[in-house]
Amino acid sequence: MNTTLITALWRQRLASPVRLVLLGTLFGIPLLPILFMQGAGFSVLGNSQGLVLVLGAGMIGQDVSSGVLQLIYARPVRRPEYVVSRWLGVAFAGSALSLLQVALASGFMAAHGAPPAARDAVMFAGARVLESFGLAAVLALL
């Protein structure tokens, strides 16, 4: 794992306005029913695939097609190190957004007087983290 590569990936992802709008949409819209409707549960949030897809699309292909990768490989960076760093960068970011979404949803449910069971929240959040790591791995290997 190379923290320089991971940080650069996050900054690269955040530099795209289109990606930011998509992430905001995928993050915010599923929270609206929970915010405004009493009784709406975690199932409204769905899975984290959309967030990971938007974060991870072209995570390696973009560097290959633009030619940026050549300069990175001229540095003391092994190919597996680069791929793993891209994978972890997307997986960590996807997990963080998923967990934040679950935390906000839990807060909204509590505000409606019906907080989720701690076990349900942990199970749901855990499943989304695993999804993030799994899908990010698929995107890194494609």
Partner 1 sequence: MTGIQIEGLSKTYRRGLLGEPVRALADVSVSIAPGEAFGSIGPNGAGKTTFLGCLLGFLRPDAGRITIDGRAPDDITIRAVTGYLPERLVLDRWMSGYQFLAYHHALARLPADGREAEVERALERVGLDPEAGRRTVRRYSRGMLQRLGLAQALMGRPRYVFLDEPASGVDPAGVVLFRRLLSELARDGVTVILNSHQLAQVERVCGRVAFVKAGRVEAIETVAAGAGHARVLRVRAAGDALGTRVPREQLAVLASSAGATLHDLAPPEARFTVADDDAAARLLQALIGAGVPVAEATPEESRLERLFLDAPEESAS
Site residues, partner 1 (CB under 8 A): 2, 4-5, 8, 11-12, 15, 66-68, 70-78
Contact 87, 137 (CB under 8 A): yes
Q: Which is nearer to partner 1, 13 or 128 (CB)?
A: 13
Contact 131, 50 (CB under 8 A): no
Tell me, letter by letter, the H, E, C secondary structure of 71-86: HHHCCCCCHHHHHHHH
Alpha helices per DSSP H over the chain: 3-14, 17-28, 31-36, 49-56, 61-66, 68-73, 79-111, 118-141
Question: Closest distance between partner 1 and the C-beta of residue 24, in Å?
Answer: 18
> What's the alpha-carbon Rg for the chain, to the nearest Å?
17
Question: Closest distance between partner 1 and the C-beta of residue 94, in Å?
Answer: 20
Nearest by Cα to 112 from 42, 43, 40:
40
Question: Closest distance between partner 1 and the C-beta of residue 10, in Å?
Answer: 12
The position carrying tokens 């306005």 is 17
Question: Closest distance between partner 1 and the C-beta of residue 78, in Å?
Answer: 7
Q: Which is nearer to partner 1, 75 or 123 (CB)?
A: 75
Question: Closest distance between partner 1 and the C-beta of residue 73, in Å?
Answer: 6
Tokens of 124: 């749901």
Q: Which is nearer to partner 1, 21 or 78 (CB)?
A: 78
Q: Which is nearer to partner 1, 74 or 117 (CB)?
A: 74
